[in-house]
């Protein structure tokens, strides 16, 4: 199955700033998914990123706050913009693997102070 390298693994950021999270996959994949896991909560899908097209955002998430890039079939970035303490979460990327399963990156633990 695919292996995802996600970075940074953690960061502490000042409110009002932005953080860009990167995910690199060791094989070409059509769709990449970005999730948020707030403290003590489950995973919520932010958006689906297809190469060559605009990302599709879930209800409650907007492009201005979470811009996504997908320049090729192995790489994607998620930016958390104009951060506030409420953005403190774990952010994970995911891809579909052969056989219909999903692989996840190790996550980015973000703390906004």
In 3D space, the residue among 46, 51, 49, 78 whose CA is nearest the CA of residue 62 turns out to be 46
In 3D space, the residue among 108, 91, 106, 97 whose CA is nearest the CA of residue 31 turns out to be 97
The CA-CA-CA angle for residues 80, 29, 6, to 5°, reads 40
Name the minimum Å distance from CB 16 to another protein: 28
Judged by CB, which is closer to another protein: 45, or 73? 45
Q: Does residue 105 belong to the site contacting another protein (CB under 8 A)?
A: yes
Binding test (CB under 8 A) with another protein, winner from 22, 51, 81, 106: 106
Could you tell me which stretch among 11-19, 21-29, 65-73, 100-108 binds another protein (CB under 8 A)?
100-108
Applying the rule CB under 8 A, the residues between 11 and 70 that interact with another protein are 31, 33, 41-45, 48, 56
Judged by CB, which is closer to another protein: 14, or 54? 54
3-state secondary structure 5-55: EEECCEEEECCCCCEEEEEEECCCCCEEEEEEECCCCCEEEEEEEECCCCC
Q: Which residues are near another protein by CB under 8 A?
A: 31, 33, 41-45, 48, 56, 92, 94, 96, 100-107
């Amino acid at each position: 199955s695919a292996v995802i390298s996600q970075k940074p693994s953690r960061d502490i950021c000042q409110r009002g700033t932005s953080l860009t999270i990167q995910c690199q996959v060791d094989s070409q994949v059509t769709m990449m998914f970005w999730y948020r896991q707030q403290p003590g909560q489950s995973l919520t899908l932010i958006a689906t990123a297809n190469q060559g097209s605009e990302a599709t955002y879930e209800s409650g998430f907007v492009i201005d706050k979470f811009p996504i890039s997908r320049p090729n079939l192995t790489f994607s970035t998620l930016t958390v913009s104009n951060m506030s303490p409420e953005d403190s979460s774990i952010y994970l990327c995911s891809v579909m693997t052969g056989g219909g399963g999903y692989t996840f990156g190790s996550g980015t633990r973000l703390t906004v102070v």
